[in-house]
Amino acid sequence: MEGINNMGHRILIVDDDRAMRSFLSTILRDDGYTVEEAKDGRDGLARIESVDYDLVITDLRMPDMSGIDLIRSGQEKKPDLLCIIITAYGSIGNAVEAMKVGAADYLTKPLQSPDELRHVVGRVLREAEAQRHIALMAEELGKQYPPPEMLFMGGKMKEIHRLVEEVAPTTATVLITGPSGTGKELIARVIHQMSPRRSKPFVSVHCAALTETLLESELFGHERGAFTGAVATRKGRFEMADGGTLFLDEVGEIPLATQVKLLRVIQEREFERVGGSKLISVDVRIITSTNRDLKAEIGAGRFREDLFYRLNVFPIVMPALNQRSEAIIPLAEYFARKFASAFGKRFIGFTSEGRSALQKYPWPGNIRELQNIIERAVILSSGEIDHRHLNLDLPEDNGQLTNGLLGATERAAIEKTLREVGGNRKRAAQILGISLRTLQYRIKEYDIK
């Protein structure tokens, strides 16, 4: 069936006519779908509550609970439930009523041919998949990542751009390394968007944020009852990314036991859900990132050497932001416009002191730190952003408090720093980036005890 991989799609057929259930199931199983059957509406609803089905096909007229009632009750439990109604020829009005309560389409019985079922099921699943992709793209656009042309500014990033253009059209596994906050995930998204898989999902997993048990469930999915709290069968990120790209962020944080399972998936392109025994096949392009030295992790026994070589097919090393000075001001202006629009504020530009501070600061947190600092500066400013709004701890003394703001905020910064260093004024002045004389003047001015 063009445009959709039937493997992994789970369909529930609900019909009190055993022969009809068997007929529909045989056709769909022959096409590669996983099919389950329910003998009536109540049985179907119980199954819907405990399993995530990609599609439910239900007869309209059944004892105790009609197909319309089943759709209505099922979608109360699971609003995204996808349904097709089956009605007898001549009862089209009932089918229209079913579509009003949430059915995606209808079939009339007797079916003209098995191809009629195949066509309707395939079209409904394709349209639902397309809607999911649109929603995913809208979500990603809402995050407002810097445009690629801004990301690739500067000599070092031009070489990264060349590597991205070379690897994107292929199916090669990519390992992106570099300090935190340098834009590794954005590079992964650019590779996906420049690849033949661009119309399929880009699925991201932040490996460092999950425990070993949760990470395995997140990656491979789980069956109902696999562990405490697993009340329903759930697809994992590998299944969600089928046909597209799976991005594993901070892959160096994955526990050794999970590394073994990941290696198997990369080698064989198949896996079992947690608590399951059925092999699930996927077609996924894998991109990973890490801020760790994986060769050092191998030496320390924390990362598998065989997995490293599987992931490091095409390495890309991201430079720190302080090595991409050409991009600092354009990125700062981009973020300032973004946050000003979001907060309903004006952004005129940066003062010369503000621009100088941005260029002199070493940016240990890279692009992520820049974004956070600009967000705060937009809140504090009234159109023009000065060095005082940026709150940067610059190494040189320019006679101004560059780690503080005017008034109460500046006083609070001095008091906090003095407390942290036990009243040592010389050390406090160093931390604040001002001379001892300037600090003593401020202490006197604000009557700080």
Please give the domain boundaries of the chain with CATH numbers for all domains.
10-131 (3.40.50.2300), 143-319 (3.40.50.300), 322-446 (1.10.8.60)
pLDDT mean over 205-222: 85
Does pLDDT of 168 surpass 50?
yes
Bridge partner residues of 173 (DSSP): none
Evaluate the CA torsion angle 252, 253, 259, 265 in order and state its sign: negative
Express each pLDDT in 111-121 by its tens digit: 888 999 998 99
Q: Is the previous residue joined to 110 through a cis bond, with omega within 30 degrees of 0?
A: yes
| Mutual angle of helices 425-432 and 436-446, in 10-degree steps | 100
Residues in CB range of 76: below 8 A, 6 or more apart: none
Question: Which tops the pLDDT comparison, 415 or 148?
Answer: 415
Q: Cα-Cα-Cα-Cα dihedral of 305, 311, 314, 318, to 10°?
A: -90
| Mutual angle of helices 366-380 and 325-343, in 10-degree steps | 40
- Of 250, 255, 275, whose CA–CA distance to 212 is shortest? 255
Express each pLDDT in 423-443 by its tens digit: 888 877 766 666 676 677 678
Q: Would you state the pLDDT for residue 308? A: 96
Farthest CA pair distance, the chain? 93
Q: Would you state the pLDDT for residue 89? A: 64
Does pLDDT of 257 surpass 70?
yes
pLDDT mean over 178-207: 90
- The length of the chain is 449
Express each pLDDT in 311-366 by its tens digit: 999 999 999 998 988 899 999 999 999 889 888 889 999 999 999 999 988 888 88
Distance in angstroms (rounded) separating the CA atoms of residues 205 and 449: 50
DSSP conformation letters of 19-88: HHHHHHHHHHHHTT-EEEEESSHHHHHHHHHHB--SEEEEES--SSS-HHHHHHHHHHH-TT--EEEEEE
Whether the model pTM is above 0.95: no
Question: Which tops the pLDDT comparison, 73 or 99?
Answer: 73
